[in-house]
Structure 1
Amino acid sequence: MSGSILAACLWAVTATLIAMLPSRDRHWRAAYGLIAAGIPILGWVTYENGPWTGLMVLAAGASILRWPLIYLWRWLRRRAAD
């Protein structure tokens, strides 16, 4: 297993463990940190393993961080409607 896939798996396990902990801000600070760490890992996975593997890792990350994506989608729709 390549180092980039191992890092992506470690990122997913970390995100799952963070989700199990109680949080006062509904995990938004943790989500920002996971996004900041996940983007370089995604680039690394795509570089080493190709675009299809990168898309699979992107889909896995999007399923874990779905609420920030939902809020981003809503914000973009509001901006487009104005």
Structure 2
Amino acid sequence: MTRTPDPAIMPLLALVVAVVWLALSCLTPRLQRRGQRRASRALVLAGVPVLGWLTLEWGPGLGVLGFGMGLLMLLTRPTARRPVPPVPASAPMNTPEGQR
């Protein structure tokens, strides 16, 4: 016989799943370009039910906040790799002659 989960833990579980979704969305920029596309699609498909569950358990205020955070994560890519600026050729090298 299976036990039904305690109703008091369901809102906390919904919040934990939403935070895990946000953490995974922060890690997608670390993937290769092809993997990023697949991960973004998977995050959108998984995020819709998570957002619905979050809204059901915590109300429309947190649901809208979760939607905004998810949209921000998917569109801005906060941990995206940034190109390293090239070093000018005239810059002194890290040698004793170049140091003063």
- Same fold? TM cut 0.5: yes
Specify the alignment match of 1:66 in structure 2: 75
Q: 1:26-79: per-residue Cα shift (whole Å, max 9, x none)? A: 711110000010000000000000000000000000001117xxxxxxxxxxxx
* CA RMSD across the alignment: 1.7
Partner Cα separation in structure 2 for residue 4 and residue 26 of structure 1: 27
Specify the alignment match of 1:32 in structure 2: 41
Question: Among 18, 22, 28, which residue is 1:8 paired with?
Answer: 18
Gaps of 5+ in 2: 1-10, 77-100
Partner Cα separation in structure 1 for residue 33 and residue 74 of structure 2: 17
8 Å CA contact 2:55–2:62 kept in 1: the answer is yes
* TM-score with structure 2 setting the length: 0.60
Specify the alignment match of 1:42 in structure 2: 51
Give the greater-gyration-radius structure (CA): 2
Which one has the bigger helix percentage? 1
* TM-score with structure 1 setting the length: 0.73
Which secondary structure state, in structure 2, belongs to the residue aligned with residue 2 of structure 1?
A: helix
Distance change (3 Å), C-alpha of 1:66 and 1:24: closer
Aligned residues: 66
Gaps of 5+ in 1: 68-82
